[in-house]
A and B are shown apart, each in its own frame.
Chain A
């Protein structure tokens, strides 16, 4: 079994009927996809497989031999944030953060399918994902902003976060 995960080729030892989620988390130690329910109900394990969002817990490895897989670790280019990541950060679309990787990957592919998607399409596109903290308002706002292209990618969020850490220590 072979997978290209975030651009890197991996030969896998995980048995072929195991889920993609198990292979990512247990063999490759890529832990952003979460085992929230392991039965396709929550969306926390969603990753991108050959350009499409998929529940990795429902996907047997044998069905995707040779596929390209993207997780949030591989979402931005050259260490920069992708627009959807920046939008989630700027709009405070996370609380506990457990569901956020699935939401961002679903939103990312939604905006590739439907650039400029409006509020109703966004809600429909994210309908399979559960968040128990935010009440979804900030998540939808973040995706709406990304759909409008209203994301400032030139901001240095690394420095902003450092500033906050220094400030809180002072």
Chain B
């Protein structure tokens, strides 16, 4: 159902940035796992589509303690090759085929699903204090992942940069099967500026848990800090789990993740 769409297939990062321009009226297709069902069903009928498969935006490189991950790096490639807890979270996504097709950039930009949260790599990226390099209106810029997520749409992600944490933790509600989005998962990472904790599945998007982080900074132990988690989020009912269940599971997941630090 895509006969009238102008399809652009850039062959280099520069060409991708030029084609994207200010992002108006354009739909970005990276791995396609989220956007293709929208296109095939006719729910999304873009003027222009930017297919990034050949744009050379994939790849992982390390320098000076920082790891740079290209936007179209497949989720599968993150497993075992990127800092924790990102690597563990990448293994939670879909099945082998979805992981090898879905990209980190697509996951970062995933809008909340109609029946469930998605974009479950946002939590480890928040915990790691990732920096996002993107193009779009006003040119290229690099910003903290919180700012990128708050700024929302209309940017073309080029690369994601994370530092190796001194220690990390990850805890998730086990998925009943590989076809689900993660119900809820907590990422924690300790670095020079303290401990960051983030959750996915407790709201439409992943978010940090500042009350937990402040309690830890104030000397609270994992259990006491974890009890603060529900101060920061208001879980909702959706197709995967009830708000009641999530609110009760969240402190447990936080405690488990913190206990691994």
Chain A residues at the B interface, C-beta cutoff of 8 Å: 15-19, 22, 38-43, 46, 52-55, 57-60, 62-65, 106, 110, 124-125, 127-130
Q: Pick out which of these stretches binds chain A: B95-103, B128-136, B182-190, B248-256.
A: B95-103
Partner of B94, one of A17, A22, A57, A128: A128
Given that A38-B40, A53-B97, A130-B179 are contacting pairs, would A63 and B7 also be in contact in the complex, using a CB cutoff of 8 Å? no
CA A117 – CA B177 in complex, angstroms?
20
Residue pair B100, A15 in contact (C-beta under 8 Å): no
Residue pair B29, A38 in contact (C-beta under 8 Å): no
> How many residues belonging to B are interface residues under a CB distance threshold of 8 Å?
28
Residue pair B51, A60 in contact (C-beta under 8 Å): yes
Partner of B97, one of A15, A39, A55, A64: A55
CA A52 – CA B100 in complex, angstroms?
9
Residue pair B37, A127 in contact (C-beta under 8 Å): no
Given that A39-B37, A58-B32, A60-B29 are contacting pairs, would A17 and B5 also be in contact in the complex, using a CB cutoff of 8 Å? yes
Residue pair B32, A59 in contact (C-beta under 8 Å): yes
B49 close to chain A: CB less than 8 A: yes
Given that A38-B37, A63-B53 are contacting pairs, would A127 and B32 also be in contact in the complex, using a CB cutoff of 8 Å? no
Report A-chain residues with C-beta under 8 Å of the C-beta of B9: 16, 62-63, 65
Residue pair A106, B39 in contact (C-beta under 8 Å): no
Report A-chain residues with C-beta under 8 Å of the C-beta of B37: 38-40, 57-58
B2 close to chain A: CB less than 8 A: yes
CA A124 – CA B97 in complex, angstroms?
11
Residue pair A46, B97 in contact (C-beta under 8 Å): yes
Say how far A37's CB is from chain B's closest CB, in angstroms.
8
Partner of A57, one of B5, B31, B36: B36
Report A-chain residues with C-beta under 8 Å of the C-beta of B64: none
Known: A63-B54, A128-B98. 8 other contacts (CB 8 A): A15-B2, A22-B40, A39-B36, A55-B101, A62-B49, A63-B29, A127-B178, A128-B95
Give the one of B7, B36, B179 with max A CB within 10 A.
B36
Closest 7 CB pairs of A and B: A128-B95, A63-B53, A39-B37, A17-B2, A127-B178, A62-B51, A127-B95
Residue pair A63, B95 in contact (C-beta under 8 Å): no
Q: Which residue of A lies closest to B50 (CB)?
A: A62
Report A-chain residues with C-beta under 8 Å of the C-beta of B32: 58-60, 63
Partner of B29, one of A17, A40, A127: A17
Report B-chain residues with C-beta under 8 Å of the C-beta of A58: 31-33, 36-37, 101
Given that A18-B2, A62-B9, A62-B53 are contacting pairs, would A57 and B40 also be in contact in the complex, using a CB cutoff of 8 Å? yes
Residue pair A17, B39 in contact (C-beta under 8 Å): yes
Residue pair B7, A62 in contact (C-beta under 8 Å): yes
Partner of A38, one of B33, B41, B95, B178: B41
Report A-chain residues with C-beta under 8 Å of the C-beta of B54: 63
Q: Mark B34-77, 1 if CB is under 8 A from A, else 0.
A: 00110111000000010101100000000000000000000000
